[in-house]
Structure formats: C-alpha cells, structure tokens
Amino acid sequence: MRLPDNIVIVGAGGHAKVVIATVRAAGGDVVAAYDDDESRWGQQILGVTIKGPVSPGEIGSAPAIIAIGNNRARKSLAELLNARWVTACHPTAVVHPSASIGAGSVVFAGSVIQPDASIGAHAILNTASSVDHDCILGDFVHVGPGARLCGGVTLDEGVLLGVGAKIAPNVEIGPWSTAGAGAVCVVDVEGGATVVGVPARSIEADK
Ligand SMILES: CC(C)(COP(=O)(O)OP(=O)(O)OC[C@H]1O[C@@H](n2cnc3c(N)ncnc32)[C@H](O)[C@@H]1OP(=O)(O)O)[C@@H](O)C(=O)NCCC(=O)NCCS
C-alpha cells in the first residue's frame, strides 16, 4: 500500500534520517520533523524542516511515525500523542503476507519477516534484520541492524537487540531487556536484564 505524502515524524536524529529514507522509498513523503531540542528548530534533515515542541496540539491527528530509536521514549510519546500512526516498510524488505506489523512500526531496507510472524506497534526492524516464522514481537521493540531471530522467538514489550544479536529458536526475551551487540541468546532472558556475549549472560550479575 502506498504511504501518505504528508507524514509527520517525531524525532530528528540519525534514526529519523533512515525513517525519512524508508518512507520515500515506499512512495510516501515526510512534511515535517518535530523535536523537543530547540537548537534543531528551523534546521533541515534530508530536506525536511525541523519544528517543535512535540505536543498533541502541534501533531494533531496527522499521519505520523515516532522516529526515535529509544524504546521507552517511543512508548512515552505514543501515549502522549493522538496521531494516526503509519507503518512503513522499505520496498527491499521481504514481508510474507501472513505476517502482521503493528501501527507506527518501521521495517528498514533488506529486512526479512517470515510467515506467521507477528510484530507489535511502534517496533523497529533495523537494517537487514530478520524475523523468522512464528516469532511474536511486542510493542516498542527494537531489533538492531543485522540481528537474527530464529523461528518461534518471543520478544516481549520494549526489548532491544543490539547490532548482530542472534536469538535461538523458541527463546523468549523478557520485557524491557537488552541483548548487547553480537550477543547470542540460547536460553530465555528474564525481564529487565542486560545480556552480552556468546552464549549471552547477564552483566547485571557481574556488577
Ligand atoms: C550491552 C550494552 C547495552 C551494555 O551497555 P552498558 O550497560 O553501558 O555496559 P558497559 O559499556 O558499562 O559494559 C559493561 C561490561 O560489559 C561488556 N560489554 C558491553 N557490551 C558488550 C557486548 N555487546 N558484548 C560483550 N561484552 C560487552 C563491557 O566490555 C564491560 O565489561 P567489563 O566490565 O569487563 O569492562 C551495550 O554495550 C551494547 O551492546 N549496546 C548495543 C547497542 C546497539 O547495537 N544498538 C543498536 C541500535 S542501532
């Protein structure tokens, strides 16, 4: 489905650049980027003017995407704003028709989403990530660039997978946990944990 050409994005950092590029590649366009950082107001990001502050009055019910990589920030803004959340998939992403993707989520170039995967709202599937069959991803997750999920994986709400992280089949990563860059998770991870390494182990326990 062709995207609207009057999308507003919330956030004007590096991640926002990739969201703008993704929207344009998918046939839509971004008309404004909103940010709370006053020093950015009036500047441009990929030709889009940055405005502010971010508020329900400014954004209204515009078609919008929260273009901020931080999962908790996306959740706060999703609860604050009343926008019409848009889902954007880059045309080079391969998304099986049986997969579902929630409102406000973005799927960047080269990603793959396999059959019967379910992706929540305001999720980020970063560049060239893969989500295999029957995975369930909650709202506000961020799957980092090149991260790989085997079949049947569950990522609970707010999970961050760092660049190149890998999750073995049927493993569940608990809510608001982080798997660090390059981590390989072969067993379930409890909520709120940070795990790193191969195989991944909690670094909280080591502190
Ligand atoms: C896991 C992570 C969140 C930890 O951050 P942190 O809490 O600030 O932890 P620190 O940098 O203080 O590191 C703590 C220890 O873990 C080690 N460590 C941190 N990240 C690691 C990783 N990915 N793999 C292996 N070891 C790691 C550090 O070397 C340090 O070890 P030490 O105590 O022996 O010195 C972070 O390092 C990381 O990997 N982030 C992923 C970012 C990413 O890929 N984002 C994608 C967005 S596009």
Looking at 15, 90, 122, 133, which residue is catalytic? Answer: 133
Give the C-alpha separation, 180 to 38, whole Å: 32
Give the C-alpha separation, 153 to 9, whole Å: 30
Is residue 7 classed as helix, strand or coil in its secondary structure? strand
Give the C-alpha separation, 16 to 7, whole Å: 12
Give the C-alpha separation, 113 to 120, whole Å: 13
Residue 103 has pLDDT above 70, yes or no: yes
Residue 19 CB partners (closer than 8 Å, separation 6+): 9, 11, 30, 65, 67, 88, 106
Residue 133 a catalytic site member: yes
Is residue 147 classed as helix, strand or coil in its secondary structure? coil
Nearest CA to ligand 1 atom 44: 162
Q: What is the pTM of this model?
A: 0.97
Amino acid letter, 134? D
Ligand 1 contacts (CB < 6 A) are: 69, 126, 144-145, 162-163, 178, 180-182, 194, 196-197, 203
Give pLDDT tens digits for 122-148: 999 999 999 999 999 999 999 999 999
Q: How far is CA 76 from each of CA 81, 110, 205, rounded to the nearest angstrom?
A: 9, 29, 29
Mean of all residue pLDDT scores within the chain? 97
> pLDDT category, 207, cuts 50, 70, 90?
very low
Residue 2: its pLDDT value, please?
80
Is residue 205 classed as helix, strand or coil in its secondary structure? coil
| Ligand 1 geometric centre to CA of 180 (Å) | 6
Percent of the chain clearing pLDDT 90 (strictly above)? 97
Nearest one of 126, 100, 99, 104 to 114, comparing CA atoms: 99
DSSP 157-199: TT-EE-TT-EE-TT-EE-TT-EE-TT-EE-S-B-TT-EEETTT
